[in-house]
Structure 1
Amino acid sequence: MSVIVIKPGLLSSLQDGGRVGYAALGVGRAGAADWPAWRLANALVGNTRGEAALEFTLIGPTLRFEQATAIALTGAPVDARVGDQRLPGWTCCVLPAGSVLHLGGMRHGCRGYLAVRGGFAATAVLGSQSTDLNARIGPLDGRALQAGDRLELGVADPAPLPGSAGALRVLRWGIDPQPWFDYGQVRLALSRGHHFDRLDDNAQQALFKASFTLSKDSNRVGSRLDGQRLHLRQPLELISEATLPGTLQLPPSGQPILLQAEAPVTGGYPRIGQLAAVDLPRLAQRRPGDTVCFRETTLDEAAQRLAARRLRLQRLLDHIERRLDFA
């Protein structure tokens, strides 16, 4: 009833919807960086209770499944195979007991998700199975996967898996990743932050006109943006204020930092912008060397776009649930 980690991949960790409600205690949310991809991976294997999935970065893990199970891969396209058979993403695949799943590199994008039917039986910490790698909170003492780790599978619905015993099966249908994975390097919507007016005139224009490059030093805490340096009109002495995923901070170096899933709950750098929540998955799929550009948005537009995406996602989740049949 286990999955054995043969190779861990890069920064592979268990993630669910996040650790909600503990910011006042200094505990961040963490959770899946590409939230829709995580939800859809779970839906494709029949999970409906917010089960944790494996999130991996740039290179996926190699795993041995001790029992037959259904899996789904979403997020960035990854080279996936069992033996000589390649597995597609964004659909359900049923693996027989003893299967070794090899997940290789990503052609583009940064993060992939592997969901298993029934989820993983990891102990929840503060109500979540998410791994906060920076704070070292969550399954496996808050660390990434290592070779030799054993991940217990959760209890799935008793309906039998499709296909004959001992045979690998790929369902005949899947979902189109195009609406849920950012193939094009589109501009990300950013609203003005509390300290935007403290930027000098050149910096205010550059924020929405210049191109930045995602630094190799980026991680789940934040995306460091290389490129044109942004300057304040004069230095600021600030006390720490609330931050959240999507907050754009400006450290003394002049190179902005865009906070991600493991954002700290407070920060002392000037907050010059806030990324629209609907574009956080796009940010999560930027890899080192990718271009990051911003366009200005308003709170109303950002809220409308987020509501529209939630509606589209829920309709798709309902459709998958109706169509998925393990009988």
Structure 2
Amino acid sequence: MLAKRVLLLFQPKRCRAYSNATETQTRKVTVLPDASVDTFRSQAYGPAIPVLLPRHTFQQLPAVQKWFAIDTPTTTLKRSYLARYGSTIVPLEISNNEHFSRTEQSLSFFLECVHASSSSYKTRPNRYFSAYVPGARAVKRMKLSNDFFSAAAVTVAQDSTLYPSVTTPSARVYLAQAAITSLPQGLRDDVPTPDLVLKTGKGDVYDSSIWLGEAPTYTPLHRDPNPNLFVQLAGTKVVRLVKPEVGRSIFAKVQERIEGSASDVMRGEEMMKGAEKKALESEIWDDDHVKEHNAPVWEAQLNAGDGLFIPKGWWHSVKGIGTGMTGSVNWWFR
């Protein structure tokens, strides 16, 4: 969709770039020289080009300090603060090996799951994990509940009196795409809408979300119907992006390979599990496949306080890397 002359602007000399991409396989996303509305409008939003804002542009968002303990070896959630809003219902993605499901639970449940996933149990497992069986009342039942949580049950070593067995839950819980407008006012105040969103374009927000989960996290290749400002609050995420026509080609190739019939517009759970998930991941993250596309794949690495602009229609996939908690927030422009 972009003319060749526009692509020449993608890495202007006055801009920097940062990424862990290799030159032969991916291109680095351009970093704007400053975070002013005028620069953003003229070099990113207007020409519809992915860009990174200067490092740590969003470091002062209250959520960065209030939600995360970032001065520790491994970033963790500040449970005591977030627990004030424990009754808030949030959307969760629960995965265990090849199983995947979406559900809605309280923020308290999510906090307990995060705590459980980083803990080991010798005698009494956490009620949210090993007790998650038919008849349990700790949380609402869902399809395939045993498939998700029974793997967290404590196993017994040969000599349990001398060497009590230790296990950690294998299920992973990701608070994904929780609308900011659905959160209590206190949490909403922690992620105020940036001026770049309020003063660019129509100055209106189509929607906004928060994302919280322990690394590794993964969002398959997809596209959004609106321009997107994606901001990292904690941890590290790597984003790979391709132009709209390249993404459509990759998606069609995957559907043909797996003999699927999914729509590239209406995406469901099929992209989060099974053959489609594996195929999409391979096409965008396997460097050998990236070379076969004969089209650029852009990559950006975001740390706490960094922001990435993703234009409308650009296909992208996101990975949370490293260890510890990752947190992100995004706003879709009207």
TM-score range for the pair, normalised by the shorter chain length:
under 0.3
Determine which structure has greater relative contact order: mean sequence separation of CA pairs < 8 Å that are 6+ residues apart, divided by chain length: 2
TM-score (norm 2): 0.23
Q: Relative to total residues, which structure has the larger helix share, 1 or 2?
A: 2
